[in-house]
Each structure stands twice: as C-alpha cells, then as structure tokens.
Amino acid sequence: MNNNLLNFKGLYGDNQSSPLPEFIHLEALELRSKVYDWEITEHLHTDLIQIFIFSSGEGLLISENKKIALNTPSILMIPANTLHGFVFQSNICGDVLTFSESFLENIFKNSPHVTLGLNNLKNFSFETNLKSFEEMQYLKNKIEEELQTENLEKQISLRAFFQLFFVNLYRLSLQNDNQISKSDNRTIGYFQAFQKSVKQSLHESKSINDYAQELNITAVHLNRICQSLVQKSALQIVHEYLVNEAKKYLLNTSHSIAEISYFLDFKDPAYFTRLFKKQTGLSPSEFRNSNK
C-alpha cells in the first residue's frame, strides 16, 4: 500500500492531461483488461463517467473493498470520482463507454433530473429482459458507428443516441425510486449545484449557510431541497461525502488517521474519528483493519 490513490484523468493506465469537455471513447472491454491480466486495480477518474456493457462472461466489481458478482448481460454505470476495480474471467465480453461528466450534463441541461437519477454507481441486470438489452446494444452500436465516421452533423447524431441510451437507463433506475422524476428542474438544479460545491470544497471549511449563500437561497431552503430529493439533510450529505472520501484513503493508502483528517480539513482528528464512527459504526482504525 502506498500514499496515493490511483486517480486517472484519462482512461485506466493513461497519464494524459484532462480530457476535453466533449470527450467520448468506446472500446472493447477485453482490449485493456487483457493487458492487465484481467485484473483492474481499484482506481477513480476525477471527471469521467464510465459505462460497462457486459454481454457475456463473468467477473467481480470491487468498490471500497466490497466484491459484487457481475451477472451478464448487464450494464454498469460508474459516476466520476467513484472508486472501482475489477477481477474478470477471461470469458468476459463487452464494451466500455467513457465520456466527460460535462458532456452528460450538457446534453441533459434542460432535464437535470435524468443526470441526478443516474448519479450513483448502478448495476442494471438484463438477465430476465433480453429485449431491453438488445435495444441498449443497438444504441451502443449506433454511437460506435458515429464515432468511427465523419458524417455530416456527427455531433447532433451522437447526442441523440446518447440521450436515448441514458433515458432508457433513467427509466430503469426509476423502478426503484421515482421521487426525482416528480421534482421540478429548478429544485434539482439547486441540489446538483450543492453536490458539485461539496465535491469542490474538499479542503475548505464550509458551513451549510456558506453553501446556501453560494446558491442565493437560505439554509432552510437548502435543507428542504435535500430532504425532498434524497430524504437527508444538507449536513448529512456533506458528512457522507467526507466519510466516503476518508474510506478511499483508509483502504488504499498508508496515510495515518491524523493525516487523513487534516487532508479532509478536520482540524481535530478526534472529531473526525467520532464522525466516522457515527456514520459507519466503526472507528477509522477498525474500518481499515476489518478490510485488510
């Protein structure tokens, strides 16, 4: 274990500079996985979203040291800044679609509830719905065709196929939770701006009032928005994000508890430990040791 999280601005194993706002890349799953002997170490991509389309075969998703079996056919969506790795069997077949977070936000700027509904790591199984998987494969193939050509109005066509692809995923996600679809765009816009600010303020001490002032609303209004969409207070969301960031460092680096607490802008390591235990039921040390 070292002191650095594996964080790629580009694709896995690439040390390139940050991708363009309209970055889109599609490749066969085995192309990169085979190079790494079918094992992809836990890592994250700061500004990139990835879609894994598994058509057949077997594998394990590893996220925060949890192992989840991948049943095929399935589609796995991994948001930006989400720790993930894989152990694939050599019989795995599929594709990996990678694109910039800003691209998805732009194509759904008038329908922000779609991006909010797909804001978490999600695994969509199609074992009992092969027809729907075929439809998703068709849209993926159309995206691939457009990427490989220089047809007239290529960008318009790409955006259209992307929108259809993600609307289908969004509809599937609503089978579990339709609260987001009932909310207006302005409310969702405030919530997404709050989420973005929390992520960008990792090294700053901000109160809920500070976040609310950035949005030109009151703290009461911000809390109301959070409760209506995700049934959590604004402070709970901040704390969850900080604890999730702490987990990444506890599991993947050798930083001390004090170093991690200071990195996350906790001036008192004891307070950090209390908060972590309140959120997880374990102290940071217990959490690290239980996952060795």
* Contact by Cβ (8 Å): 238, 208: yes
Q: Structure tokens of 45?
A: 């991509």
Burial group, residue 98, by CB count within 10 angstroms (0-12, 13-18, 19+): buried
H or E, element range at 195: helix 185-200
Confidence (pTM): 0.71
Task: Using the predicted structure, report yes or no on whether residue 179 has a pLDDT greater than 60.
Answer: no
**Tens digit of pLDDT for each residue in 260-279?**
998 888 888 899 999 999 88
Report the pLDDT value the prediction gives residue 142, as an integer from 0 to 100.
Answer: 96
* Contact by Cβ (8 Å): 111, 57: no
Q: Structure tokens of 263?
A: 């990195």
Task: Using the predicted structure, report yes or no on whether residue 28 has a pLDDT greater than 90.
Answer: yes
Burial group, residue 263, by CB count within 10 angstroms (0-12, 13-18, 19+): middle
**Tens digit of pLDDT for each residue in 195-241?**
889 988 877 778 999 999 999 889 999 999 998 888 889 999 999 88
Chain-centre distance of CA 66, in angstroms?
16
Q: At 54, is the pLDDT very low, low, confident or very high (cuts 50, 70, 90)? A: very high
Domains along the sequence of the chain with CATH: 24-173 (2.60.120.810), 183-290 (1.10.10.60)
Q: Residues of the chain with pLDDT > 70: what percent?
A: 89
